[in-house]
Every structure is written in C-alpha cells, then in structure tokens.
Chains A and B, each alone.
Chain A
Amino acid sequence: MIESIFLINGLGDIVMEKHWASAIPRSICDYFFDVQKSASRPEDVPPVIPVPHNYLINLLRNNLFFVAVISSEVPPLFVIEFLQRVVHIIEEYFGECKESIIKEQHVVVYELLDEMLDNGYPLATESNILKELIKPPNLFRTITNTVTGKSNVSSILPSGQLSNVPWRRADVKYANNEAYFDVVEEVDAIIDKMGGTVMAEIHGYIDCCIRLSGNPDLTLSFINPRLCDDVSFHPCVRFKKWEAERVLSFVPPDGNFTLMSYHVASNNIVAIPIYVKHNIIFREGTGGKMDLTVGPRTTMGKTVENVVLEITMPKSVLNCTLTVTQGRASFDSVTRVLLWDIGKIDPTKLPGCKGSIALQSGATIPSSNPVINVRFCVNQLAASGLKVNRLDMYGERYKPFKGVKYITKAGQFQVRL
C-alpha cells in the first residue's frame, strides 16, 4: 500500500511530504528527479517508476507531481485513482490545486492526507465526509476564527461515514433549493485532408450542482436513454434502476459532483459541428502560402463559439505573416505554434485567414504536414442528441429550482492537412 506521498513541483523541489509507515528518506525522490530531467516534457514521465526496493507511482496535475511510494504489489490504478481523488479534494477545498495554495495551506492539506489514508489504505475519500471532519477554509470562517479563537477542525464528529448514504453529509439546509445539471459532451475526432471523418467519438458527462435540503431522492429521466449504452456512475446512482428502467435514481451528495459519464463510440455516426477548409503549400525558396476558412457544419442552428485553431508548424518554418478577417492570429517563432483565436462564428460571414510562410534559408520543404487542433464550444447542444426529460424529487416537500444546460465542446479534435 501507499507508504509515503511526496509533492514535487516542476522544478524538482519537494513541496510537501507525508509518511504513513516509517518515514522514507527524501533521497528516494532523486530517482524521480533523474527521470524528470530526462523526460523532454513533463507529460512524458512514465506513471510508474521502479526504483530499488520501491516503486514510485506519480500523477501530474498543474505542473505538480504527486508521487506515491509503494513497496509491494498493488494495482497501479488503485494508487493513481487515489492520488486523483486527493487532487480533487484539494480542488474542492481551495478552488484549485496548485503549488502556491498547498504551500499556504500546509496544515489543512496534511490533515486531509491523514484522514484520507490509514496505514496507506484509503479511509475517507468522500468530500462530503471530509468537509465535516475538517472544515474547508473560507474568508468568513477565517475572520470568525480569528476573532473567537475557534478552529477549523469541527468539534462534532461526523456521522456521515456511518450512514447508509456515505456520500451525503447530514442535516443539509438551504434557503434556496436548487439542482443544476450540465450535460457536457466532448467530441473527439480526426478529420482527414478531404474533410472526411476518420474517427469520431463522444465523451459525455453530467456535472451536477445540487443544493437541496434534507434527504432528497431524485429521479432523472432522459428522452432517449438508449443513446448512452456505455456509462459509469457516481456511487449514489442505483444501478438496477438504470438497468431496468433507464432512469437515474439517486440520493445526491451535497454540492458539485459528476453524476454520470458516458461514451458514444466511433461506430455510431457523430455529428461534427465545425469544418475547416485549408490550403497550405510549401514552396522551395519562396516559403509558402496558407489559406484557412472555418464554418459551422451540423449545429442544429446553434452558434459555434470560442473557436480556436492551433497549428504546430514543421521545424523548418521560420515565420508566418497572417491576415485574418476575424479574431486574432499569432505565430510564436520559438514553439512554432500558430494560434488563431476566432471567437464566435457568424454563418453569414465565415472567418478566413490568409498568409505567407517563411522557411529557414536553405531548409528543404517539410515532408510532413502539420495538424490543426481545433477547439470550440456550442452551447445548448448535445452532440449525441441526449436530452433530459424530467427531474422528479421524492422524500422532501419543497419545490426545488431545476435547471439543465447542454454544452458541446471539442475534445481531441484534429484536422489533418
């Protein structure tokens, strides 16, 4: 099981350490530093590094490595998933998980780690329970604590851990009862030169923000539940109910959580909301020319927003001079990344980008073609066509305010040139 956890920043400093069994000397991190240095990008550090007598399993988030020291066989995903939970909890507590915040909140983070693992085995990992054990800091509480001399550790011990709904804290009370659901779908696609779809998949998830008093029992039903046949659920969802009736029935945790995620595989036909017309030619000596046009494809009448095109040019490209009809375009000559931030697409006036490419003198025409990575976002559209039918609440008397939002985003969306 997990013996120790080290938090290491991108520069190779140990930000924090926590040990469960006997303390493991810091020098074990030297092995990690070696690997870190030899990797060209931080992402290329392998997730599991064997070192003499131990194994280092690491997770990279926000340029911060969470390194768990393992001494014997344990499923690597078990550790990775746990580290991910740690990151998630820190985000829940402090808004984001980055070095400066952890340095500022050493004590709380240390206490959290202490509660989350017992002898290297996960103990309390539900944020609802942890928040009862250790109150998350906020401005108001900091002030009252300063004035009254009270502390962040709750004096009452939580009962949530013992309840039959371990993900929900007890005695939730709100003046305004609200339940919001965001259906977010990310489109992964590879579009070939001719505009044909090589592969396309949709990864969807439903994020919830639920602030309901008492112990509500919710049932969420879809108009077309057959669409998601490969799903995973938050533990609160009653699986049998889904199997039998294709409705999501659950007693929600308090606050934000991901209720469900689903995957619409490449075999189904996926509507691609955007197209890119492109023409890039490299010519010996003079350099090259490029011409890009972007337009909406199947969007059900919704506007495509936040469109960004990103092209990493081949090594021999020296510079690009660009003129665009909309948005901003820039070329970073160090990373050779061409970035065109378009914004909203107006279907009547399609944005275009023309320009010339300068090659390094003497360099040959690049043999490989770059790839356009596209980012976009379409509000009020779920690319898969999934629609929420209704939300019913049982167990409580009040009428909650309900809201559903659909967003389609680009995941790994690339257009080949």
Chain B
Amino acid sequence: MANQGVMTSLRDENHSTPDTEFASEATIGNFFSTDYKRNDDLKQMLDSNKDGLKLEAMKRIITMIAKGRDPSHLFPAVVKNVVSKNIEVKKLVYVYLVRYAEEQQDLALLSISTFQRALKDPNQLIRASALRVLSSIRVPVIAPIVMLAIKESAADMSPYVRKTAAHSIPKLYSLDPEQKDELVAVIEKLLMDKATLVIGSAVMAFEQVCPERTDLIHKNYRKLCNLIVDVEEWGQVLILNMLTRYARTQFVDPNTKQPVPEKEFYEEEEEDEATDEPTRPRSLDADHRLLLRNAKPLLQSRNSAVVMAVAQLYYHLAPKNEVGTVARPLLRLVRSQREIQSVVLTTIASMSVKRKDMFEPHFKSFFIHTVDPLPVKLMKLDILTNLAGESNISLLLREFQVYIASQDSKFVAATIQAIGRCASNIKEVTSTCLAGLVALLSNKDEAIVAESVVVIKNLLQSQSADQEAIITKMIKLIDHVIVPVARASILWLIGEYCDKVAKYGPDVLRQMAKSFTNEEDLVKLQIVNLAAKLFVTNPKQTTLLCQYVLNLAKYDISYDIRDRARLIRNILFPSENIKAIKNPKKIFLAPKPAPILESKYKDRDTFQLGSLSHFLNIRANGYRDLPDFPEVAPDSTVRNVEPPSRPTSVNAERVSVSYAQEEKSKRKPTFYSSSSEEEEVDGEESKSETSETVTESDSEMSELQSEPDQDLDKKSISIQEKTAGKTADSTEDSDSSESETSSESEEDEIRPKAAQGTTSPPSAQTTKSNLDLLLDFDGAVPDIPTPIITPTIGGFLTPIVPTVTTSSSLMSNSVDSIVMSSPAYVANNPKELISRTAGNGIQVGIRFTRSPHLYSSTMASIELHFTNTTAEDLGEIKVANKVLPVGMTICDFPVVSSLPHGQTRTALIGIDFGDSTQAAVFDISIGDRILKLSIKPPIGEIIRAVSMSETYFLSQQVKLRGMQESTAVATLPPSVVDGHAICRRVYEVANVSPIPSSDPLVFRFGGQTLSSKTLVLITLKTEAPKVTVIVNCEKIIIGQMLANQVKEALDKH
C-alpha cells in the first residue's frame, strides 16, 4: 500500500518535471507557488517511507500554512511522522502540530507520548524543544501533563531547559488559569535562579501570570539588580519595567524634601544647608540607589528598547538632578529608523513638558529636515516649542520662519500654532510673534491665513496692546478668508472687542446677515453671538439687524443654531410673560480667561513612559498603572537575604569583594574589619562599590546579596583579578564556570562525593536538590571559612587561628563531619623557583596560596611571580607546552599581556597533582623566550585543611591503624616552648587545620589530600623536648613523607 503510494507519487513527479524529485525539492518555492492545486499527492508522500518525499511534502505544507491556506485535513498523515528519525522532518512536523493541534485535539493526543519520552532525553536541547512543543499544544486535556513537565523542567540541571520551562508557564496559564497557584510556586522557584539565561524569562512569566505578587521579588531584588547587565536584551527590558513598578511601591519619592535630618552630628550645619539648598533631595535608600546604578550602563545598549526602559526608569524613579543622564542616549535613538524615532520622540515630548532643562542644550537636534515624515515633523515641532525659552527663542523663531515657507501646508499650520504657543509662553517675544503672525495674514495661502487668524485670536486675549490695529486688519480680511474657523474667529473677536472697533461692528454684521444662509454652522453661531453682543453695546444701530439675524437663525436646519437663537432672543427681546434679565451685558460680555496654549503631550506622563498606552495615549489592555511613591517606605529588610550555604555565592562573593577591595585599596583596614553582614546594611558606599564591581566581573556568579559570614581569601583572588584585568580573558574564565557546570557539574559532583563517601559519613551536601548541584561549581569548595593572611596588611592580622576558640565553635556545629576550613597559615613571600641566572634574567618565584583553585577544587592554586631583570621589555606570558604525567592536570593562567623591564607580574596557575609529589613540568613562553618550569609540590601543599570534632577524629584514626600509621620522633629545639610555636611549625609545612584536643599535651591536625580527598590525620604527642609525630593516612607514602617533613620542621633550630 505504502509502496504503491510512493510509486504513484514518483510517477507524478516524473510526469510533471523531467528531473528527479530531488531537483524539484530545490526549487520547491517557485514550483509549488505556481501550481498548488496538485496537493492531492501530499498524503501519499507523507505515508511513504522515504525521508526525501516526506520532507518535500512537509515543506509544501509549511508553505501553505505560511500563505494562510489550510492544510488541516492532512493532520492524521502529518502527526504520524512525529516519530520520524529525520530531524528536519521532525522539526516541520512540530511546527505543524503546534499550529493545528487545537483544531484536532483527539489526534494530537497521539503525539504526546513522543514528547514525554523526549523530556527524559539526556540531551538538554532535545528536552527543551520537547517541552517547548508540548506546552505550545493548546489542548486542555493535557494541562496536567504540561504542569508536570514544567515542574520537572524547572528543576532541570540545564539552565536552558529551565528557561524553556519559564516560557511554558504563561502558555499553560492561558490554557488553564486554574493552575495559577501551582504555577506561581514554579515562578517563585525560577526567580531564585541565578543563571542569567533563566531570570529574564522567569520575570517574563512573573509579569504575565502574577504581576501583583510583589512579595516574590523582595528576596530577588538585589540579585536582579546585580545581574541585569548580563541578562539577554529582551529580558533586560522586562526586568527594568518590572523593577520600575516595584521600586515605586517600595521606596519613597526621591524628589520630596528631606525630612528632619536624623544625624545629630550635623545639627549645627543644618540651618545653613537648609537655606543653601532648599530642595536638597532626601538621601536614597541603598537598594534604590543600587537599581539606578546598575541600570545606568544599559543606556549604552544597542537595543533601543533597553535604552528606553532605562530612560523611563530614571524618569520615574531617579532624583531630579540625575534624570538628565538619559537625555543623550535618547537623542541618539532619535536618529534611528522612522518607527523607533516616533516612539522616542513621543517620550521626549512628554519629558520635555516637565523637564525642559534636560533637552534644552540639545534643542538643535530637533530641527526639522525636509525629509522627515509628517508625524515626525509635528512631534519635533511640539518638542521645540516645549523647549523654547528666553535664551533660544530668537534662534527658534528664525527656524520657524523657514518652516513657514515649507510646501506642506499641514506642517505650516502646525508651525503657526507653535509660534502662537511660544508667543503666549514667553512674554518677551509676544509682540514680535504677533507682528509676524499678522504679516502672515497677507499670505497667499488660505490655510496659513486661517491658522494665523485662529492663533492671533488666542493671543489677543492675553495681550492688551495693539488690539485695535490688529483687529482692524483682520476685519478687512473677512471678505477673503473662506476657512470657517478663521471667519468664526474674526467674528468672535469683533464681538468681544466691539467697544474698541465700534466703527466696524455693525457693518460687518450687515455683511454677515447677507451671507448668513451660505455660512457653515460654526460661523452662523458666531454671527448670532456677534449680533447679540452688538445689540447689547450698540442697540441704536443694530436692533433691526439683530432681530433679522435671529429670525434667520430661527429657521435654520441645525437645531443647535435654532436653540441658540431662541435663548438669545429670550434674553434680549423678552416676551411679556418672561421676566426680563436685568443686565444682559454681564452675560454676553463677561470677562473670559485667556486660553492656555500647551503641548498635547502635557498629561501623558501619567502613563509609564515608553509603554504602548503612553504612545497611543489610550489605556491599553493589560496596562498596569504606575503606583505613586508611598509616603513611608515599607520595611526594607524584606530584601535582605539569608547568608546562603551555596558554594556559588561564596565564590561570587570572593570575586566581588576582591574587586571592591582593589578599587578602594586605601580603605582596606576598615573594609576588613567590618563583617560582611554590616557591609550589606550599612554602607551605601561600600554596597554600591561592590555592586559596580559586580557588573564588571561580568559573571553569573557575582552574587552579591548572599553574604557568607566568613572572611574570604581576598589575597589570592585579588591578585588573580589583577592579572585578569590585564588579560581581559578573566571574565570569560570566571564566567565559564556557570555554563560549564551545566555539562560538567554532574561529573564534578559525583567524583568528590564518591571519594568522600569512602572516608566520611554523609555530609550536608548530599541533601541538596538538583538545582543546587547544578549551581555548585564544585562540590568541595563550598564551606570554607577563610580567615586569611593578606600580605598588604602585614603580620598583625595573621594567620594563626587561636586553636581553642576555633575548636569550640567547631564543636558546636559539626559533630560528625568533615568541614573544609581555611588554611591556618599561608606563606607571604614567594620562594625562588628559577633564579635570575638560570632564567637568563628572568626570575620566577612561586608561592602556594593554599586556597582551592577556581577552576576545580582538586587543583592547588599556585602563584607564579615573574620578574624581568633583563634590559628589555618582554612580551606576553603564557603557558606554552605542557607534557604531564597521567593524573595531573593544569589550568593555565590567563595570558599576561607584557612583562616590562624591571617589573614583576604574577599569574595564578591551578595544578592538580593527582596526590603525587611528582613535579609538574611545563614551558612558559615569555615574549619569544621559553622557560621550562618544574614545580614539585612539597607534600604539605597537596593537602587541604579540614576540621572535624575530636571524637570524629579519633573514630577515623582508629580505622587507619597499622600500615596506614606512620610515626617519627622529633626533638624540639629549646626555643620552642609553647604549643603555639609547635603548631606554627606544623602549619608552615602542611596545610592542615587544628582539631580540638582534650589533652593539652596532644595536638591534633586534620587535612585531606587535594585530588582524592583522602583523610590525613596528624597527632603530636609532646613530652618535652621530645615530640612523637603520628600520621594516619590511607595513602601510606603520603603519610610517611608527611611524618618526616613534620619531624624535620620540628627539629629545626
């Protein structure tokens, strides 16, 4: 059957085109657009078992969809191919399915199982695309399945799948709004996500499903602010808009005056300041400032929507003096394509009404080019008028003069109005403008004259001088002007100022009475008005005329005019049974306020700028009002985030803090002394410093609000960052951690855990969810408290942790587990690795930082110092060749750009020695020289400090008896007397940490090998002057070597 189908279709093909079916495939577009009736064979082609035919059929079907034809009758034939192995066929089937599933619900269900299977695929992209299609099939029956899929995907390892999950949420919500509560829970989870890829989409889902749940934002606010630079551009727009609304509910208006200053310290100055700057804005909330600061760089985005989003954020949230920063980026956008231009100009027009100063210096940018489309011209004109002031008015008027000579009469009319507005707003030029407008009255163009008349009419009301002369001139025009508005305006003027032009009034009325029947309604009304006003002031001459006009009006077609005539007649010529109104003059010639000429963009800023509603000046569907600032700011502590236990944040913190440290190196001591917790609450200063730096680090892990309560290894990182700053690659390096985790985390995760599993009982980490694991960039790094030495500070803050205090604290929180701890000692000065002579003038120093390398925790991070003592400047330093023994890996340092003469450069290299003391040998190229480095780690450096409770120590020690125990006896020199000195000697040779000991004569230390995480336990039993060194370690060689090293260290005089 199927074969037959192929045959027929083949025959068909051959019949129509002499070529094979593949040839026709290449030109498919042309071919079938001319002859689309031959679609009967499509079904057979789809049923065939040749991918080529299927593909061709699908392409034709998609073409039909794209053209708006309906191929839905082919649904059964198409849906079968959802299992096709050919990826292109499959893709096109997906496209078809999404489009027509709604119409053929029952059949669509057949495909669901395929997607469900694909959701479990090991390839993240297949999982994502399955979810995408599944959620796009709008069949209510499958809502629960989609819900389940979304929930699972939201906890997926891959950020890309999580992103897709976020996209699916609004789809399901529109399919089945009853799932809202569950969806909100998923959104909440996704908002917590730290991947920049995800959060843009998470905010999108939030905006679509539950924009009212501000409470979900609190905890994520700081993270969003800090990460926004790295989010993709579309996400940035949504986040900025959402944060604008959020900030309006959470912070107080920055432009209200400062309430009573709270700081007593400044009390004396208070008076002065108050008089100096009466409008001194209130100091901003730190979070408010954070948002403004982090949004600012986005003004440089190439995406106009992002720039606009920042601009509106500043307009609605920033203190007045800062809003100006958005002016120039907006001006840059004005230059873009027509569509963007009109949106941006609308926004600028709105801003310029209230914030003239922002654009005043740039007003020339709004000068009109003849090639501008009319709407753009009109908007520019409005903006120019808004910007008009005493300083630029003469230039503007000259420019307007040019516009009046334009050939486009609509534009000219708008220009005349603009002149009118300038005249009424700026008193200095009113008479000049009026004179100019009067001159226009003699223009040949009817429309221009009419417009001028109307504008002059408005102006005259607010201007007393010269009225008589101008009105006289206009009266003379009445015979020529045809445009109704203009005629009506002239008539109104005559009536209003009939005492000033008393001579002409009755005459004009006579003429008008003659032409009354031929006039427009607008004019007729004014004739009636004029008649009434003249009758009131000059009854002698006009009584008859007035009655005549009223009679004409009485029989007019328009009821409006008849009504008016009846009203006026009853006032002026009351019949007997109606009481006469005493003073009709007061009614007809009451003083009237002058009209205010203003921009039509005046009140638009009630809408959020840059929104659809603002552009159209209509409330669009789904528009949410921008709330007013609250009087009193709600509790800001809701945004505080608990100190996290997540590893990522620890690392992030390191990066950001070290950046900050670098920037304000002079303030180091205070910086250190303040605990991180304080830092968050207290200093606007330090807070924002840090946040600035986060943007620089460009990295996903720059997670600021997560404040670990330990100090950090600032030294090593700051050095690393210094080098990084020079080599530019750093950001990528640190960045990569995020993306790499997606693929590597599993692997990374399993390895250390497997290793731990053998030596230690289940640790806290095992309880983490998938999500956490993904973010973990290394299972082991996490919980390192790192009180650490910084050479810059010198010795007094130094390393040796008082054994007792630490131990007691450790006792309390970790009973049965191993906890990473910071090294108790770190060497300050590099040791010489290659001497000046050996290196031909290049000296290489080496220092073990004893901190885990960023790339992997199994690497020791080693600082290399290159000093150039040659006479010449050398080029860039990088790792060249490396031939490594099995089990050893090296993470190259970022390329150091140059090594000038006499200078020292440092680089941080990560080496995984694989728990051996074999030397890592590799080449470094410096400029065109090659240096061979051989790094042989001391045994104490391939160990990392861990701490544990004494009981745990003892229980582990019992397991490592016999072969695994190495002993050595050392004799202490007389200088070493107390325990501290002994400990110090141990720390110098091995990176171990103290373990509490109940016996004052016994010292215990704990460590772990870097690679395999094998436990290393050191016990010292002192019986002065002898010390017995016992090392328990599964790796016998390491144990023995370490015991000897420790012995030597203790023996040393």
Contact = CB atoms under 8 A, between A and B. Distances in A.
A239 B695 contact: yes
Contacts of B234: 78, 82, 121-122, 125
A96 interface: no
Contacts of B444: 364, 367
Interface in A240-268: 240-241, 243, 249, 251, 258, 261, 263, 265-267
B29 A103 contact: yes
Nearest to A310: B371
Interface stretch (A17-25, A274-282, A294-302, A398-406): A17-25
Chain A contact residues: over half helix, strand or loop, or mixed? mixed
B386 interface: no
Given A118-B164, A232-B329, 9 more contacts: A17-B67, A43-B338, A75-B237, A125-B234, A164-B736, A188-B369, A229-B328, A231-B300, A367-B443
Contacts of A110: 62-63, 65-66, 95
B59 interface: yes
Contacts of B55: 151
A327 to B, nearest CB: 22
Contacts, number: 284
- Sorted nearest first, the 10 A-B pairs with minimum C-beta distance are A72-B622, A240-B696, A157-B125, A151-B88, A153-B88, A77-B305, A199-B364, A47-B339, A164-B735, A266-B364
B123 A414 contact: no
B427 interface: no
Contacts of A84: 337, 339-340
Interface of A: 1, 14, 16-23, 26, 41, 43-44, 46-48, 50, 53, 55, 58-60, 70-78, 80-82, 84, 103-107, 109-111, 114, 118-119, 121-123, 125, 142, 145-147, 149, 151-153, 155, 157-158, 161-166, 188, 190, 192, 198-199, 201, 203, 217, 219, 229-235, 238-241, 243, 249, 251, 258, 261, 263, 265-267, 312, 314-315, 364, 367-371, 373, 394-395, 411-412, 414, 416
Contact of A157 (B62, B123, B374): B123
Interface stretch (B9-17, B587-595, B641-649, B723-731): B723-731
Interface of B: 22-23, 25-26, 28-30, 33, 51-52, 55, 59, 62-63, 65-68, 86-88, 91-92, 95, 99, 102, 123-126, 132, 135-136, 138, 158-160, 164, 167-168, 170-171, 174, 197, 201, 204, 208, 229, 232-234, 237, 241, 297, 300-305, 307-309, 328-329, 331-332, 335, 337-340, 342-344, 361-362, 364-365, 367, 369-371, 373-375, 399, 402, 405-407, 443-445, 610-613, 615-616, 618, 620-624, 695-696, 698, 700, 727-729, 731-732, 735-736, 738-739, 742, 876, 895, 897
Contacts of B362: 265-267
B480 to A, nearest CB: 15
B367 A198 contact: yes
Given A81-B303, A121-B167, A123-B167, A75 B610 contact: yes
Contacts of B305: 75, 77-78, 80-81
A398 to B, nearest CB: 14
B612 A235 contact: no
A414 B342 contact: no
> Chain B CB within 10 Å — which of A147, A229, A231 has the most?
A231
A261 B303 CA distance: 11
A412 B136 contact: no
Chain B contact residues: over half helix, strand or loop, or mixed? helix
21 contacts: A21-B174, A48-B615, A73-B624, A110-B65, A111-B95, A118-B132, A118-B167, A146-B22, A153-B91, A162-B124, A162-B160, A162-B742, A188-B335, A217-B729, A233-B302, A239-B695, A261-B302, A263-B332, A373-B370, A394-B728, A414-B370
Contacts of B612: 48, 55, 70, 73-76
Contacts of A19: 99
B26 A142 contact: yes
Contact of B739 (A106, A162, A263, A266): A162
Given A21-B174, A199-B364, A412-B371, A145 B26 contact: yes
Contacts of A267: 361-362, 364
Contacts of A104: 29-30
A46 B51 CA distance: 46
Contact of B297 (A20, A82, A239, A371): A239
A395 B661 CA distance: 28
Contacts of A43: 338, 373
Contacts of A266: 362, 364-365
Contacts of B132: 118
B445 A234 contact: no
Nearest to A242: B300
A17 B68 CA distance: 6
A137 to B, nearest CB: 9
A121 B167 CA distance: 8
Contacts of A312: 370, 407
Contacts of B405: 367-369
Contacts of A153: 87-88, 91
A152 B88 CA distance: 8
Contact of A72 (B29, B618, B620): B620
Given A77-B304, A114-B95, A119-B170, A22 B159 contact: no
A107 B63 contact: yes
Contacts of A21: 138, 174
B408 to A, nearest CB: 9
A136 B417 CA distance: 53
B775 to A, nearest CB: 15
Nearest to A14: B68
Contacts of A106: 29, 62-63, 66-67
B839 to A, nearest CB: 23
Contact of B232 (A44, A111, A166, A261): A166
B859 to A, nearest CB: 20
> Chain A CB within 10 Å — which of B159, B339, B739, B897 has the most?
B339
A77 B308 contact: yes
Given A107-B62, A110-B95, A217 B611 contact: no
A95 to B, nearest CB: 16
Contacts of B29: 103-107
Contacts of A18: 66
A290 B742 CA distance: 72
B156 to A, nearest CB: 12
A75 B620 contact: no
B338 A315 contact: no
Nearest to B160: A162
Contacts of A165: 732
B731 A238 contact: yes
Contacts of A240: 297, 695-696, 698
A315 B232 contact: no
B342 A46 contact: yes
Nearest to B163: A123
Contacts of A14: 68
Contacts of B124: 162
Nearest to B623: A73
Contacts of A41: 373
Contacts of A231: 300
Nearest to A416: B402
Nearest to A251: B732
Contacts of B67: 16-17, 106
A143 to B, nearest CB: 8
B7 to A, nearest CB: 19
Contacts of B232: 166
Contacts of B371: 373, 412, 414
A153 B729 CA distance: 33
> Chain B CB within 10 Å — which of A18, A20, A46, A75 has the most?
A75
A372 B135 CA distance: 57
A16 B59 CA distance: 15
A232 B332 contact: yes
A369 B300 CA distance: 40
B302 A73 contact: no
Nearest to B95: A114
